[in-house]
Structure 1
Amino acid sequence: MIQDFFRKDLSDFESYNAGKIDYKVRLNANESFNNLGAATRRKLGMVIEDSIYNRYPDAGALQVCNLYAKYAKVESINVMAGNGSDECIQIIAHTFLNTGAKVAIQSPDFSMYGLYTKVAGGIPIEFPLSEDLKLDVEGFITMANREEVKIVFLSNPNNPTGGTITRENIIKIIEGCRCIVVIDEAYFEFYGETIVDKINTYENLIVLRTCSKIGLAAIRLGFLITNNVLMEELKKVKPPYNVNAITQSIGSVVLEEPKIIYKNVERILIERKYLWEKLSCIDGIKLYKAEANFILVEVLNAKLVKEQLLEQSINVRSFTSGVLENCLRITIGSREENDCLLNNITLGNDNNM
C-alpha cells in the first residue's frame, strides 16, 4: 500500500485549512483592511509589466532585503527574506532541530511554531499562559532549561491574545534560556516596541517580521533578522529563489515609500481605538487589551455568536477550548466593517447573555 511510505509521526496531522474567503466582512485573518492606493497600484503595474519572466529571481532578494533593513534600522547582511514569515519559521526549525529535539512555546500562541517543529521531527513543549493570559517569565525560563529545548518561539505581541511581554522580560528570556530564542514581531507596527536592536548583543536571538499585516498579505513576504553567525547557518537551509520576482518587486516599491505603511498602520490604529470603545460598551463582552491589529473578546457562547455572525456573512476567529474557550479574535476592519460587526454582535450577545 502506498500508505506504507507515509511518515507515521504525521498520521494524526490535519492539513491547514484557511477557510472560505467569500464572506462580506472578513475579520478572521488579521489582514489589513486597506488595499494599496491607485497611484501605487499603477506603479506596481508598470513594474510587473517590466519584469523578466524567463529568468530566476535574485536568490538573495537583495534589493528588498536592503530596503527592509533600512525600514527596520538594521544592517542588510542581517536580513533574510522568506515566502512569508511562515517559511522563516520553517527554515529555523530545519536548521536547528534534530529528530526528537524540543522546542518551547507559550500556549496559546501562533500554531505554526508547533506545526513546523513537528514536521522537522521535533517536539513542541507548551507552557500555558495564566488565566489572565500572562506569561510567567521565570517559570517559562525554568521549563525551557529543564527540558533542554533547542529553540524558544514567542510572538510579541501574542497571536491570538494580543498581549505583550515587556522588553525587560524579553531580555530575561534571551539571557536566561540556554537555546536559540525567536521573537516573532509580526504585529510590531501596532505595538511600537522591538528587540531587533539586540541581534548583535545576543548570539542566540532571531527576530521575525512580516509584511502581511501592513497591507501586503497577498504577496507573501516575511523577514528573518539575526546576527552574522546564525545567519550563515540559516543560509545552509534556505531554499534558493524562495521569494519570487513579482513579490520582490512589489515589496521593493512599497518599502521605497514607507509612508504607505505608516498611513496604513495609522488608519488601523484609529479603527482599533474606535472598535475597542464600542465593544467596551456592550454588556457581556470581556475585552483583553490588544497591541495588535485585532482584539480578543470573551463572550458567554462564542460558538453561537460566531454562527450568528456568519449568517450575516461576517467572519471572525473563534476558540472553543482551553484558556480561550468562548473567545473571539476580531481583526480590525474598516469603519463600515466594524459598524457591521457591532450591529450584529450586539444582537448576538443580547440573545445569549
Structure 2
Amino acid sequence: MNTLSDRIARVLRQDVQSMHAYAVQPSAGFVKLDAMENPFPLPPALQHALGERLGRVAMHRYPAGRVDDLRAALAHHAGLPDDCALMLGNGSDELISLLAMACDVPGATLLAPVPGFVMYAMSAQLQGLRFVGVPLTPDFELDEAAMLAAIERHQPALVYLAYPNNPTGNLWNDEVIERIIQAAPGLVVMDEAYQPFAARDSMARLARWPHVLVMRTMSKFGLAGVRIGYLMGRRELVAEVDKLRPPYNISVLNAEAALFALEHADEYARQAATIRAERERLLAALADMPGVRAYPSEANMILTRVPDAAAAFAGMKRQGVLVKNVSALHPLLDNCLRLTVGTPDENRLMLQALKASL
C-alpha cells in the first residue's frame, strides 16, 4: 500500500514540493510592525454602523450586484478614465496569479526589479514561467541600463514596477519609468499597493500607454483583513485578464465592508495623513541613531540598515516589538530591517526597542 508520502511524491509537482510556503510570523502579544498594515481601527461609532450594515447582507446569496457596485465605487475613487475598466481580486495576490496565468504562452518571461515583492517571482514559478530579476542600484534606485538591457534580451511578456517599491519604500525616477514602459514589448504593471502614502501615482499613464495596467489594494487603505485588490487598464485588456477570474472571488461581506470604507474615505484619509506624519518623525529619529541608516520612503514602512539585523530583530522581539528582518531576501538587503509605521505610541516603543537592541 502506498503511504501518503509516496502519493505526494508521485502526484504533486516536484517544484511545489521543493518550495517554501510564504511565511507569516506569529504576532500575538507583540507590537505588530512587520506587515505594513494600517494600525488604526475604525472609531467606535463607525464600528457599530458597519456591524449593523453587515448584519443585513444577504449571505445566503452568491455575490452579484454589490460587487458591481464596489467596482463602480472604486473606479470613481481612483478617477478611472472612461476608456478603462476595473477588475477585482481577492487581494493583489490573486491578481498577480491571474496575470501570470494570462501571460503563460510558450517561452514567456516575467521581469521585475529586485529586491521587490516576492509574489511576482512566486506567481511566475507556480505558473511554470521564467522570472528575471534585475538588481536595483545599491541605493535602491532603478538601474536603467540594466533594465533596458534585460528587456531587450528577454522580451518579457510582463514587467512589474512597484511604485513605491516593497521592501525599499521608495518611488523611482519617472523619466526612467517612462523609458522602461516605452521599451517593454508586453504589458507593464504599476503596482501601487502603497499609493495612500505616496506623493505621486500612475493614473495618467493609463491614458498615455495602452499596455500599462495599474494595480492597487485596499489593504494599505485600511482593510488588510478584507482582501480587496483591483486592477485598472484599457477595457479590452482588462476584459481578457478578467476571463480568468473565478466568478465569485469577492465575498459579499468583503464587498459591503469595502463600500462602507469608501463612503467614509475621509476617515481613512485622516489616518493616512497621520501615518505620513509619523513616517517623517521616524525618519528623523532614525537619522540620529549611530550606526543606523534609514532609506527614504513614500510608503508606510521604512527600510533600515543596522550593524547586525539578526541581533537587532531578536532584541526587539524580546522587548515585545515585531518587525521584519529582510536581510535574507536579497544581497542588497544585507543587515536590513523593514519597520512598519504604526501609531505614535507603537512607534515610540519601536524606537526604544531598536535603540536598546543595537
Q: Do both proteins adopt the same fold according to a TM-score greater than 0.5, normalized to the shorter chain?
A: yes
Aligned residue pair count: 349
Partners of 1:206 and 1:253 lie apart in 2 by: 26
Cα distance, 1:59 vs structure 2: 7.5
1:132 maps onto 2:134 in alignment: no
Deviates more, 1:58-67 or 1:145-154: 58-67
1:78 maps onto 2:85 in alignment: yes
Structure 2's unaligned 5+ residue stretches are 1-5
Match of residue 176 from structure 2: 169
Tell whether the 8 Å contact from 2:66 to 2:252 is kept in structure 1 after alignment.
no
Amino acid corresponding to residue 91 of structure 2 in structure 1: G
Cα distance, 1:75 vs structure 2: 4.5
Any idea what SS the aligned residue of 1:199 has?
helix
Amino acid corresponding to residue 73 of structure 1 in structure 2: G
Q: Structure 1 307/211 Cα, relative in aligned 2: closer, same or farther at 3 Å?
A: same
Q: Which residue, 4, 27, 32 being the options, matches 2:38?
A: 32
Match of residue 123 from structure 1: 130
Match of residue 283 from structure 1: 290
Matched ranges for 1:145-224 at <5 A: 145-224=152-231
Match of residue 333 from structure 1: 342
Cα distance, 1:343 vs structure 2: 1.1
Any idea what SS the aligned residue of 2:323 has?
strand
Deviates more, 1:286-295 or 1:132-141: 132-141
Any idea what SS the aligned residue of 2:275 has?
helix
Tell whether the 8 Å contact from 1:101 to 1:121 is kept in structure 2 after alignment.
no
Partners of 1:238 and 1:126 lie apart in 2 by: 27
Deviates more, 1:173-182 or 1:76-85: 76-85
Match of residue 3 from structure 2: none
Instruction: Give the RMSD, CA atoms, in angstroms.
Output: 1.5
Deviations 1:283-310 (Å, cap 9, x if unpaired)? 1101111110011110110000000011
Deviations 1:123-160 (Å, cap 9, x if unpaired)? 11010111111111232022122112111112111100
Match of residue 70 from structure 2: 64
Structure 1's unaligned 5+ residue stretches are none
Q: Which residue, 230, 239, 252 being the options, matches 1:245?
A: 252
Match of residue 101 from structure 1: 108
Amino acid corresponding to residue 329 of structure 1 in structure 2: R
* TM-score, length of structure 1 as denominator length: 0.95
Cα distance, 1:36 vs structure 2: 1.3
Identity of aligned residues (%): 30
Amino acid corresponding to residue 262 of structure 2 in structure 1: L
Deviations 1:203-259 (Å, cap 9, x if unpaired)? 211111011112110101111111112111111111111010000000001112221
* TM-score, length of structure 2 as denominator length: 0.94
Cα distance, 1:100 vs structure 2: 4.3
Partners of 1:123 and 1:59 lie apart in 2 by: 38
Tell whether the 8 Å contact from 1:23 to 1:315 is kept in structure 2 after alignment.
no
Partners of 2:128 and 2:108 lie apart in 1 by: 7
Runs of 4+ aligned residues of structure 1 deviating over 4 Å after TM superposition are none
Cα distance, 1:319 vs structure 2: 2.3
Cα distance, 1:60 vs structure 2: 8.3
Match of residue 92 from structure 1: 99
